[in-house]
Structure 1
Amino acid sequence: MTENPWPVVELRQYTLHPGTRDVLIELFDRELVETQEAAGMRIIAQFRDQNDPERFVWLRAFHGMPSRGTALKAFYIDGAAWREHAPAVRATMVDTTNALLLQPATATSNFTLPTERPGAAATELPHSRVLATVYYPEGPLTEFTEFFENRLRPLLVETGATPIAYFQTDPTPNTFAALPVREEIVFVWLALFEDSAALEAHFNALSNSRTWTEEVQPELSKLQSRREDQLRLAPTARSLLR
């Protein structure tokens, strides 16, 4: 298997002013995808959170932690695109500090992504949906990863939510202090669904599974310091992950 050249991933959740999400997405998809990638990043996905109309969620990746600092400086400090569009972008935002710095949980758990995204003029929204789940392990990440792969992942596959990638906290110090990240231990997995109906079918199948309700869910609760976060996400017209 070819090694994924983007092993450092950010999961970013932004809280926006009411009614501004579409404004931000239109600007982001038009002006801030190729310009970030030209600075040395990979824009993996942009989403509307289906449960929160004031939340914009996105994922980007880097070749490594040293190159992350270089790429972010090139875009945010030296780049013309950010200088031009930052005022309009910031006008939509309430809070941008909900960001997680991640690395693949195993050697084979990173994304396998298409090589091309829809063009800059794309407006058609995909029917697909993404479920992103953030767990908060209380013990060692190695033990939680083992639990996920041996106990939880088979049940997810059985109920129609095959994980397409899973990650854990990258413990490396933040290489770009101007963009803070949450300093807590997490485990994140993502699944891709054909549409909203397929996502709901997964939740129904899981809730009807005695293996889940009687065995796996109680075990999962004991392994976490607090309840997991679940994000139901709709890709934008230019999201690479779709």
Structure 2
Amino acid sequence: MTENVWPVVELRQYTLRPGTRDVLIELFDRELVETQEAVGMRIVAQFRDEDDPDRFVWVRAFPDLATRGAALTAFYVDGAAWRTHAPAARATMVDTDNALLLQPASATAGLALPDGRPGVHATDLPESRVLATIYYLDTPQAEFAEFFDNQVRPVLAEAGASPIACYVTDPAPNTFAALPVRTESVFVWFALFDNADRRAEHLERLAATPTWTEDVYPQIAKRLSGPPEQLHLAPTARSMLR
């Protein structure tokens, strides 16, 4: 089993019509995974947002920005799969503009993923859970990334969460204007847990750790432009990140 790191990443959060999330996930996992990958991208993860029954969160990646533009054009403009399934997909969607274009915070900070995923007919949901935290920065990205590695990461690890990947906003121009991306400066980190209980235990331990509440988190807060966003995510049956 080999691992691949894809340096251009989109984190996409879709607001859906009430009661339609499972409809979209079934369609997405059946029809819109391999068809996107066939034109040059990698579908990294698909999630249910456990705090919002009408939110679908997913991650896709590209080898570089030029490939991103070409691949998205091939899929959304020229491709038969999107032309066929877009009406059904769009019928579930209220807003799809909440998207961040990201790059690894350092040379070794990107998600490393195994080749392969559960097959198209997979229905078993993994017990694993993901925590994604978005910090909206009021400080240079490189400075915050260094601070995170030196000051934040050790405290998170002691509380049971070792970040598996960290990203920052990619400042390059959007190479596919038909899909807008947000331009805020952000730092995003992901942690993977065996199950929901392990994630809850981490959050409880962190909240009860004086080093975090009295020292580290206040240092984070003074470097931010607004409150952090925390996503509690459950992988779908075909999510590669699980």
TM tier relative to shorter chain:
over 0.9
Q: Report whether the alignment pairs 1:136 with 2:148.
A: no
Confirm or deny: 8 A CA contact 2:130 2:192 kept in the other structure: yes
Match for residue 124 of structure 1?
124
What amino acid does structure 2 have at the position aligned with 1:141? Q
Q: Report whether the alignment pairs 1:201 with 2:229.
A: no
Question: What TM-score comes out, normalization by structure 1 length?
Answer: 0.98
In 2, the alpha carbon distance for the partners of 1:14 and 1:105 equals 24
Match for residue 231 of structure 2?
231
In 2, the alpha carbon distance for the partners of 1:107 and 1:5 equals 10
Confirm or deny: 8 A CA contact 1:4 1:110 kept in the other structure: no
Deviations 1:185-215 (A, max 9, x none): 0000000000000000000110110100110
Aligned identity (percent) is: 67
1:5 to partner: Cα distance: 4.8
Question: What TM-score comes out, normalization by structure 2 length?
Answer: 0.98
What amino acid does structure 2 have at the position aligned with 1:198? R
Confirm or deny: 8 A CA contact 1:131 1:233 kept in the other structure: yes
Confirm or deny: 8 A CA contact 2:50 2:232 kept in the other structure: yes
Q: Secondary structure at the match of 1:113?
A: strand
In 1, the alpha carbon distance for the partners of 2:111 and 2:222 equals 28
What amino acid does structure 1 have at the position aligned with 2:223? L
Q: Report whether the alignment pairs 1:94 with 2:94.
A: yes
In 2, the alpha carbon distance for the partners of 1:59 and 1:46 equals 7
Q: Which aligned runs of 4 or more in structure 1 are off by greater than 4 angstroms? A: 2-5
What amino acid does structure 2 have at the position aligned with 1:197? D
Match for residue 185 of structure 2?
185
Q: Give the superposed CA RMSD.
A: 1.1
Inter-CA distance 3–65: structure 2 relative to 1 (3 Å threshold):
farther
In 2, the alpha carbon distance for the partners of 1:140 and 1:110 equals 19
In 2, the alpha carbon distance for the partners of 1:139 and 1:232 equals 26
Give structure 1 stretches of 5+ with no counterpart: none
1:105 to partner: Cα distance: 0.3
Match for residue 85 of structure 1?
85
In 1, the alpha carbon distance for the partners of 2:25 and 2:41 equals 18
Match for residue 171 of structure 1?
171
Give structure 2 stretches of 5+ with no counterpart: none
Match for residue 218 of structure 1?
218
Confirm or deny: 8 A CA contact 2:137 2:185 kept in the other structure: yes
Confirm or deny: 8 A CA contact 1:104 1:168 kept in the other structure: yes
Question: How many matched pairs?
Answer: 241
What amino acid does structure 2 have at the position aligned with 1:147? F
Match for residue 15 of structure 2?
15
In 1, the alpha carbon distance for the partners of 2:165 and 2:236 equals 19
Q: Secondary structure at the match of 2:99?
A: strand
Q: Secondary structure at the match of 2:112?
A: coil
In 2, the alpha carbon distance for the partners of 1:31 and 1:142 equals 38
1:92 to partner: Cα distance: 0.1
Q: Secondary structure at the match of 2:114?
A: coil
1:143 to partner: Cα distance: 1.1
1:57 to partner: Cα distance: 0.1
What amino acid does structure 1 have at the position aligned with 2:236? T
What amino acid does structure 2 have at the position aligned with 1:29? D
In 1, the alpha carbon distance for the partners of 2:58 and 2:198 equals 22
Inter-CA distance 137–154: structure 2 relative to 1 (3 Å threshold):
same
Confirm or deny: 8 A CA contact 1:76 1:82 kept in the other structure: yes
Q: Report whether the alignment pairs 1:49 with 2:52.
A: no
1:4 to partner: Cα distance: 4.7
What amino acid does structure 2 have at the position aligned with 1:232? H
Match for residue 109 of structure 1?
109
